[in-house]
Structure 1
């Protein structure tokens, strides 16, 4: 299946789209190099900045919601592809304020990692606080199938944009805006369906959903749905199935929308019926009425607000999604969420609605485009530059030796780039020493330079994971040095523990998941135990921690993968070729920490 299109080049279409939005709204600017549409912040506003984004193809999300009262910047990746670190950092630079930045992302691995890496890096480099709220409102995938990766982010993200944007404009601080956004995200649910897949610009022929079938729970990137229904049900049957998944709170696999003991028909529910891109206005409005009738007839629910329009699409997918957000005041008494939702904004993409009775009643400012970044290494933590250089040299030597083995393992388990990617990161880090960089005489500055070099040198998922850990480690070192006052094993152990907790916030991988976490977690935990419980000296503590990491990596030989491309190895039947092979990511961690131990104990 392939339809004709006016744009055959998917890279040009994003620029033209953003250029059009900027031309229509004189308060917006477009950074075409980094594909960032932003509203220059008036520093007198003294507000928290809101940033969102992701792959293009979901318009009007997210660029269409940049404007006063919603987003301050949207980062546009390629079609259905996450934006990269440099693009996201550019958005931070453009709209940051001292009050902080709230990042709102949908729950997809690339978005979480790249926005997370940028957030941790920016906070470490500037001292400007950042928070992330991840939208995961899809209810179509059963809990048991998605418990590790979580629920996908869908059209509910736009409701969070609107409410959080209004809260920020009122002057609430970062923790308050984040709390509101998280609450709204936690109390909404979405399910979508489509008659067919979307057509990608410049794409080749693609498979089609059979003529007399429909995909229930289809993702917004052409991912398969949770269920293919054939023959195609009537719209009444389809909507009935969708609402059942949304509203059956007792369903252990799909009952994500909670009512906290308040009857559904007394709850203040917001309804959004969203066009996934390929429906006519006539059909969308007709579908919305079927939804409203079923809510009333089957559940005695009359929504407090009704939004029917094109809010978040999957290009031209001929489908729709239904979102219900529970804004009942008794569940969140701190703030009137409905008033935030009703706050007027001037942007064409946000189609407002008329206020409706609640359940009880039923029985242009100055603009600045300067970048906000300023150096913010808070602590001058003197360290031995020669020793620092020796450790980096040991890491490069060890990873160079181990790279062929790591590549061999990853060729069997994944895409074969684990060894070469890790080596690229080690070379990038040692490159700082080769430049005789004076920052290596300052522990915080040196670590920050290394974090930046590793992130740029490695790229991809592993680069984001290492980058998040290292940037968080830098921040922790600076905080903890204020109390510890010297560079010692206690400083490293405490900071590593805090960095690990930060990393856990961006991935569900833990021990026994056949990932680098199988080595990193035992290393950090054993280091902390050895230092703070066993009172071991630095040499003994490192020896115990490296042994724990090595044992952890060895234990992955017989594990079943839960994350990454190796998850699919052997899924087609037959003998799993990875049995008896340790996880290359975990082995990479062991290579690095073994080298660190060697460099600290025998620097020459």
Structure 2
């Protein structure tokens, strides 16, 4: 449970968060006194007004869903607490149009039902045509335990709001809109899971009933309420249990909806603290299991933050049996346009209905060889030199890692070793032909597929440029001076993509001296020794580029640059020199 917040005053937090909506959505205004976000008056035709709300902490629900195509107003309580009946009454009587009637949609929590219900009755007594729909979609607590209270309302509620809002925008009557909302609620099930409770800013810290490390609560509510059980299980098993609670008709305690419609809507809701990356993995797991286990291919898949629990480290799954309502499909109502920041469904109906399954075929690899280049050398000599050089890089991994741990993030040695091992495996299994251009083109592909990070990108650019440079040379045996000329062109190409130059404490410090001496003397050994000498001299050199720039301390005075050192090991091996050569 994270107890650190940028704003620790809950009153200021809620007020400022509500005000922010008026900054990002020109359609809405704020009644600060009653904490109501409402649509600004405009010249649009009058329609049924839809009002919702509840405790704060569930953003973007509900205030973030006020705007054309969805809510007319939302009433906010304090964090995880229902707004008062006075607040709700102010919303109904003074912040929305009442000419066509008002539909109040509220989640099934006692405080919300009582406060909103009292306001609805007050409105009716004042002559306003008002109806209320209570949404209880959570199956985390079954019939037996739920008793008279019934199911809690959680993220599936936003589907009800969207359907009702779209139908209201079409000019339908209050009875029709309320009927559609009730029908959607009756065909809706949801269940959540979380790895931890959340901390409410401004409240005392409580670790009571805390989840253990690695433990997940299945069915946890959006206010830290307990669910149906806890366990230490992997995502696949967690999703399997959650879907069983939603869909298993043999579970009479939870079989609330029979999914016999051909159109099922899937909503995967982020409770606030799950990364987008993990949400992608969760979405894939849920859709895969729906298909393989229940033969359900959702007509719509919505994934994102719709109803959070502050920064809750969890997610919920909602399934809607999308039936027709008032002669219109719920699918089309969900697809209908809206201008609210809290409804994240940017894919249009025509795109969904097209069901485009086409893919692009073909290899992602460019054939840089085309035909024999004529740039040749003895194949056995080539293979022997490459093998020795790559083995030297692999052997130097611990040394390079030690250096990078001091001045970087410690991954340079592993990255170089991974690339060297992949190229060595290729050389040993596929062999070399002696046609340098052909062999190098194959090695480039191996490097691109096996080396990541900055070093991987630099090596890939350099080697691709080297292929291009070799293509421009006359055919025939490759002398070392020819090699030097091609390497010089590759350095020039690399300089277009990085500002690194000798003296910046990077692998460039070893590369440039190698190329310079090879061009000047034609001696591979002298070039390799120059590279090693330059790598040694990076010790004590201030970094101008790379991650080392951000690492403080005096470590740079104690070790050479890891990248330059690793490359110098390769050059020494290529020249047949021992690693200790200086």
TM-score (norm 1): 0.57
C-alpha distance in 1 between matches for 2:17 and 2:23:
10
C-alpha distance in 2 between matches for 1:31 and 1:169:
23
Task: Identify the residue that residue 57 of structure 1 maps to in structure 2.
Answer: 57
Task: Identify the residue that residue 214 of structure 1 maps to in structure 2.
Answer: 216
C-alpha distance in 2 between matches for 1:128 and 1:44:
21
Alpha-carbon offset, residue 360 of structure 1: 11
Q: Relative to 1, partners in 2 of residues 1:361 and 1:244: Cα closer, same or farther, differing over 3 Å?
A: farther
Q: Relative to 1, partners in 2 of residues 1:114 and 1:43: Cα closer, same or farther, differing over 3 Å?
A: farther
Q: Give the alignment's Cα RMSD to 1 decimal.
A: 1.9
Q: Provide, for residues 563-601 of structure 1, a one-character-per-residue CA deviation record: whole Å limited to 9, x for no partner.
A: xxxxxxxxxxxxxxxxxxxxxxxxxxxxxxxxxxxxxxx
Q: Tell me, what secondary structure is at the counterpart of 2:328? A: coil
Q: Provide, for residues 129-158 of structure 1, a one-character-per-residue CA deviation record: whole Å limited to 9, x for no partner.
A: 100010100011121111210100000111
Q: Tell me, what secondary structure is at the counterpart of 1:189? A: strand
Q: Provide, for residues 413-458 of structure 1, a one-character-per-residue CA deviation record: whole Å limited to 9, x for no partner.
A: xxxxxxxxxxxxxxxxxxxxxxxxxxxxxxxxxxxxxxxxxxxxxx
Give the 5 Å matches for 1:189-268: 189-207=189-207, 208-229=210-231, 232-259=232-259, 262=260, 267-268=262-263
Q: Any conservation in 2 of the 1:2–1:204 contact (CA below 8 Å)? A: no
Q: Relative to 1, partners in 2 of residues 1:84 and 1:43: Cα closer, same or farther, differing over 3 Å?
A: farther
Task: Identify the residue that residue 293 of structure 1 maps to in structure 2.
Answer: 288
Q: Tell me, what secondary structure is at the counterpart of 2:191? A: strand
Answer with 137-146 or 187-196: which moved more: 137-146
Match of 2:306 among 307, 311, 319: 311
Task: Identify the residue that residue 327 of structure 1 maps to in structure 2.
Answer: 322
User: Are 1:343 and 2:336 matched, yes or no?
Assistant: yes
Q: Any conservation in 2 of the 1:306–1:353 contact (CA below 8 Å)? A: no
Q: Tell me, what secondary structure is at the counterpart of 2:158? A: helix
Task: Identify the residue that residue 568 of structure 1 maps to in structure 2.
Answer: none
Alpha-carbon offset, residue 166 of structure 1: 0.6
Structure number with greater CO (CA < 8 Å, separation at least 6) is 1
Q: Any conservation in 2 of the 1:2–1:206 contact (CA below 8 Å)? A: no
Q: Provide, for residues 232-252 of structure 1, a one-character-per-residue CA deviation record: whole Å limited to 9, x for no partner.
A: 111000000000111112321
Task: Identify the residue that residue 267 of structure 2 maps to in structure 1.
Answer: 272
Give the 5 Å matches for 1:500-579: none
Task: Identify the residue that residue 20 of structure 1 maps to in structure 2.
Answer: 20
Alpha-carbon offset, residue 65 of structure 1: 0.2
Alpha-carbon offset, residue 43 of structure 1: 6.8
Task: Identify the residue that residue 112 of structure 2 maps to in structure 1.
Answer: 111
C-alpha distance in 1 between matches for 2:42 and 2:237:
50
Q: Tell me, what secondary structure is at the counterpart of 1:243? A: helix
Q: Any conservation in 2 of the 1:57–1:314 contact (CA below 8 Å)? A: yes
C-alpha distance in 2 between matches for 1:142 and 1:351:
30
When Rg is computed on C-alpha atoms for both structures, the one with the higher figure is 2
Give the 5 Å matches for 1:408-419: none
C-alpha distance in 1 between matches for 2:129 and 2:60:
28
Q: Tell me, what secondary structure is at the counterpart of 1:45? A: coil
C-alpha distance in 2 between matches for 1:147 and 1:129:
31
C-alpha distance in 2 between matches for 1:106 and 1:47:
23
C-alpha distance in 2 between matches for 1:340 and 1:106:
20
Give the 5 Å matches for 1:115-514: 115-125=116-126, 127-207=127-207, 208-229=210-231, 232-259=232-259, 262=260, 267-329=262-324, 332=325, 334-354=327-347, 355=349
Alpha-carbon offset, residue 344 of structure 1: 1.1
C-alpha distance in 1 between matches for 2:276 and 2:16:
24
Task: Identify the residue that residue 577 of structure 2 maps to in structure 1.
Answer: none
Q: Any conservation in 2 of the 1:18–1:37 contact (CA below 8 Å)? A: yes
Q: Any conservation in 1 of the 2:27–2:39 contact (CA below 8 Å)? A: yes
Alpha-carbon offset, residue 353 of structure 1: 4.5
Task: Identify the residue that residue 100 of structure 2 maps to in structure 1.
Answer: 99
C-alpha distance in 2 between matches for 1:153 and 1:88:
18
Q: Any conservation in 1 of the 2:46–2:97 contact (CA below 8 Å)? A: no
Alpha-carbon offset, residue 258 of structure 1: 2.0
Alpha-carbon offset, residue 361 of structure 1: 11
C-alpha distance in 1 between matches for 2:41 and 2:71:
11
C-alpha distance in 2 between matches for 1:299 and 1:225:
24
C-alpha distance in 2 between matches for 1:315 and 1:64:
14
Q: Any conservation in 1 of the 2:98–2:129 contact (CA below 8 Å)? A: no
Q: Provide, for residues 370-410 of structure 1, a one-character-per-residue CA deviation record: whole Å limited to 9, x for no partner.
A: xxxxxxxxxxxxxxxxxxxxxxxxxxxxxxxxxxxxxxxxx
C-alpha distance in 1 between matches for 2:312 and 2:356:
38
Q: Tell me, what secondary structure is at the counterpart of 2:179? A: helix
Q: Provide, for residues 540-580 of structure 1, a one-character-per-residue CA deviation record: whole Å limited to 9, x for no partner.
A: xxxxxxxxxxxxxxxxxxxxxxxxxxxxxxxxxxxxxxxxx
Q: Provide, for residues 137-186 of structure 1, a one-character-per-residue CA deviation record: whole Å limited to 9, x for no partner.
A: 00111211112101000001111111100100100000000000000011
C-alpha distance in 1 between matches for 2:313 and 2:285:
17
C-alpha distance in 2 between matches for 1:302 and 1:199:
37
Task: Identify the residue that residue 462 of structure 2 maps to in structure 1.
Answer: none
C-alpha distance in 2 between matches for 1:353 and 1:160:
18
Q: Any conservation in 2 of the 1:48–1:172 contact (CA below 8 Å)? A: yes
Structure 2: which 5+ runs fail to align? 358-582
C-alpha distance in 2 between matches for 1:213 and 1:352:
32
Task: Identify the residue that residue 405 of structure 2 maps to in structure 1.
Answer: none
Equivalenced residues, count: 352
C-alpha distance in 1 between matches for 2:221 and 2:271:
10
